[in-house]
């Protein structure tokens, strides 16, 4: 009877170990995906910051009377 108990406990332990391995693998996949998302968002933030600096520079040039950017330059050709 003791052998049956040990076999049952061994199978239960193996099942628990398998579950933990599956959870660890899923968490690794999730972490990789989150890292990719964060990297992509960082690239977007850097691009937006660069665009903001460009717009600020254009605004400073326009405010100082230097020739530069005008919204009329951005009108589509059909206007």
Question: What is the per-residue pLDDT across 22-36, written as a single tens digit (0 to 9) for each?
Answer: 999 999 999 999 999
Residue 34 covered by a domain: yes
Whether the CB-CB separation of 69 and 58 falls below 8 Å is answered with yes
- Are the CB atoms for 48 and 59 separated by under 8 Å? no
pLDDT for the residue 19: 97
pLDDT single digits (tens) 47-75: 999 999 999 999 988 887 766 556 666 66
70 occurs within a structural domain: no
Calpha distance 42→37 (Å, rounded): 9
Does residue 52 fall inside a structural domain? Answer: yes
Q: What is the DSSP letter of 67?
A: S
Domain that holds residue 39: 2-64
On whether residue 47 sits in a domain, the answer given is yes
Structural domain count, the chain: 1
Angstrom distance (rounded) from CA 27 to CA 25: 5
């Amino acid at each position: 009877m003791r052998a049956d108990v040990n076999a049952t406990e061994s199978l239960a332990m193996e099942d628990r170990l398998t579950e933990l391995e599956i959870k660890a693998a899923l968490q690794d996949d999730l972490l990789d995906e989150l890292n990719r998302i964060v990297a992509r968002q960082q690239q977007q933030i850097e691009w937006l910051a660069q665009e903001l600096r460009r717009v600020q520079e254009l605004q400073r040039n326009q405010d100082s009377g230097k020739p530069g950017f005008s919204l009329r330059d951005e009108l589509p050709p059909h206007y």
